[in-house]
Structures are given as C-alpha cells and as structure tokens.
Structure 1
Amino acid sequence: MPSVFTHAAIPLALWCASDRGRISAPLLAAGVVAAMLPDADVLAFALHIPYADSFGHRGASHSIVFAAVLAMLAALLHTRLRASAVQAAAFVGISALSHPLLDAFTSGGLGVALWWPWSGERLFAPWRPIRVSPFAGQFFSARGLATVVSELRWVWLPLAAAVIGWRLIQRAPVNSRTA
C-alpha cells in the first residue's frame, strides 16, 4: 500500500484543481477520510483474520462495493458536507475508489479484492512502480524513505503536474478565430 499520506493525494488534487469554494472543507475532509479508510482493515491482523481472507487486508474494504457504500453514505449526508447529493457521492466515491487503485500499482502484498463480493480474486495493475509502504513501526527507516521517494515520483509529482496543467488550461484566454 502507499502510505496513508499518499492516499490523501487524490482528493487533495481534485480539490486543488477545482474552482475555489467548489469543494467545501467538510466534503474535502470526507474525501480524505474515504481515501484512507480502506486501510482500517489492518485491524484484521489484530483479530487474527488471515491477510488473504475476504475481510483481511486489501479485501472487501478495497472493493468497488465499499466505495459505492461510502458514496451512498455521503449522498445521505450531503447537507452536512455542504454539497449536492450527486457532488458528495461522486467526490467521496472517487476518493474511496482511488485507494484500491493506488494499491494495485504497488510492488507488494496480495493485490486488491476490487470485485468483491463477486470475486475474491486479488488483482494488481500490470505495471507496479510504487513501492509498498512498511507498517508504522518501520516507516521511519531506509525502506520508508524509499517508499516516500517512490510515492513522490509516481503519485505526487504527476498529480501536481496534472493540477497545474489543468489550472493553466482553465485560465487560458479564449481567442476568437478570424478567417
């Protein structure tokens, strides 16, 4: 998995790319939580649930169904998130779905159960450039530093470039054509 900080990158990038005030602070916070929440399944280790189990790490909480449930919850809470139901569902759903997609691009683990409950198969992306993050106790180590560098290279810098490019396109003046 990428570090918990990098899972927040997708909702933060969407917020940065949007017009000022379009994504409210409560909606941004919900998106960040939704992007990080699937890794709460590491509690399964403490409960002695095997990693490869459907409810183990990168199991059901890393599925499209889980993202859809969070999206529906956001739609129900849209007034508290200061957004329309559609905007809340879309932002939180995309943020939650970004988590297993980022995990699929990592170099370790068993893959993600993206299609749970229809399939328990764990999937990886065909290209896996992001170094898998060590758990908390080892995060401040040489391996942790290598993970941060990998995340900067493969997630943060491309997202920053995309946001800057998007903002420049949005500000570009529209010239009328003359024939």
Structure 2
Amino acid sequence: MTTLITHPLPALAVGLALGSRFIPPRLLLAGMLAACLPDLDVVAFKLGIAYHDAFGHRGFSHSLLFAACMGVLGALCCRLLGSGPLKAGLWVGLATASHSVLDAMTDGGLGVAWFWPWSDQRYFLPLHPIEVSPIGLSRFLSPRGLEVLISEARWVWLPCLGVAAAGIVLRRVLRRND
C-alpha cells in the first residue's frame, strides 16, 4: 500500500494544475479525501477478515465499482461541492480510482481487486517501483518507513509537484496571452 500521505497528492496536483475556477476548493478537498477512503479497509484486519478475502485489504474498496459508486455519491453531492454533477462525479470517482492505481504500482502485497465482484483476481501494473508501506504506525516509524517515503517522493511526490507547477505556469502564460 502507498501511505495516506501520498494518496491525496495526485488529486491535489491535478486540482492545483487546473485551478480553483475549474476545481472548486470543496471539490478538491472531496477528491483528496476520496483518494484516501479505500484504505479504510484495514479495519478488516481488526474484524478478523483475511487480507486475501474480497472484503480484505485491497479488495472491494479498491475496485473500479467502488470508485464508480463514490463518483455517483460525488454527483449527488455536487451542490455541496460547488460543482455540477458530471464534474463532481468524475472528479470524485477518478480520485478514488487513483488510490488503487498507486497501490498497483507498489512492489508488495496481493495486488488490487479492480474487477470485484466479477473477479477476485488481484492485479499489479507492469511498472511497480513504489516500495510497499508497512501497515501499522510502529512498523512505519522505522528505517523501512523512511525507505517507503523516499520511494514515494521519487515516484509520486516529485511527478505530482511537476504536474501542479506545469499547470500553474501554463495557466499564467495563457492568462497573459488573453
């Protein structure tokens, strides 16, 4: 799994790149929260649900169906999010799906059940350079946790910074040319 520090960054980067006129602040925040939501499935460990179970870690909450359901919820809450239903639904759904994409880029775990409930198979992307994060604060606050953060900085944080900066610069250039 990628850390909860990293999961909201793609939504934040794209939102900053597009600007607040296109992605209002409440919609941006909703996307960042939606990007973290799938990891609530770690509660399954406390309930005795096995990792490999459909309702275990990286199971149904990491599926495309779950992301689509979150998108529908975003569309239904569009007025609260300061946006139209299509934009809110797409934003929240894609932000939720970004979580499982990052997890599918890690070098450990069982993969992601993208096609649940139609298939229990777990998937990784062909490129999976991100160090998998240990589960639990005590394990994370260790040399292994530092390795994970360095890996995430290289493979997620820096590209997200580049996306945000490029979008901001491009918007300023386009504004000057108007």
Letter in 1 for 2:152: E
Letter in 2 for 1:124: F
Unaligned runs of 5+ in 1: none
Q: Distance in 2 between matches of 1:40 and 1:159?
A: 24
Tell me how far 1:25 sits from its aligned partner.
2.3
Q: Distance in 1 between matches of 2:109 and 2:76?
A: 34
Max Rg structure: 1
The 3 A distance-change label for structure 1 pair 29 and 167 is closer
Tell me how far 1:106 sits from its aligned partner.
0.2
* 3-state secondary structure, aligned to 2:6: helix
Paired residue for 2:153? Answer: 152
Paired residue for 1:77? Answer: 77
Q: Distance in 2 between matches of 1:117 and 1:169?
A: 41
Q: Deviations over 1:97-135 (max 9, x none)?
A: 000000000011000000111111000111210001112
Q: Distance in 2 between matches of 1:60 and 1:139?
A: 25
Q: Does 1:120 align with 2:141?
A: no
Letter in 2 for 1:147: V
* 3-state secondary structure, aligned to 1:168: helix
Paired residue for 2:58? Answer: 58
Paired residue for 1:40? Answer: 40
The 3 A distance-change label for structure 1 pair 170 and 29 is closer
Q: Distance in 2 between matches of 1:88 and 1:162?
A: 21
Q: Does 1:11 align with 2:11?
A: yes
Paired residue for 1:141? Answer: 142
Tell me how far 1:5 sits from its aligned partner.
1.0
CA contact under 8 A between 2:14 and 2:163: conserved in structure 1?
Answer: no
Q: Distance in 1 between matches of 2:134 and 2:68?
A: 28
Q: Could you state the TM-score of these two structures normalised by the residue count of structure 2?
A: 0.93
Q: Distance in 1 between matches of 2:51 and 2:28?
A: 30
Count matched residues.
175
* 3-state secondary structure, aligned to 1:111: coil
Q: Distance in 2 between matches of 1:110 and 1:20?
A: 37
Letter in 1 for 2:156: V
Paired residue for 2:111? Answer: 111
Tell me how far 1:21 sits from its aligned partner.
3.6
Q: Distance in 2 between matches of 1:20 and 1:4?
A: 23
Q: Could you state the TM-score of these two structures normalised by the residue count of structure 1?
A: 0.92
Tell me how far 1:19 sits from its aligned partner.
2.3
Q: Distance in 2 between matches of 1:22 and 1:162?
A: 16
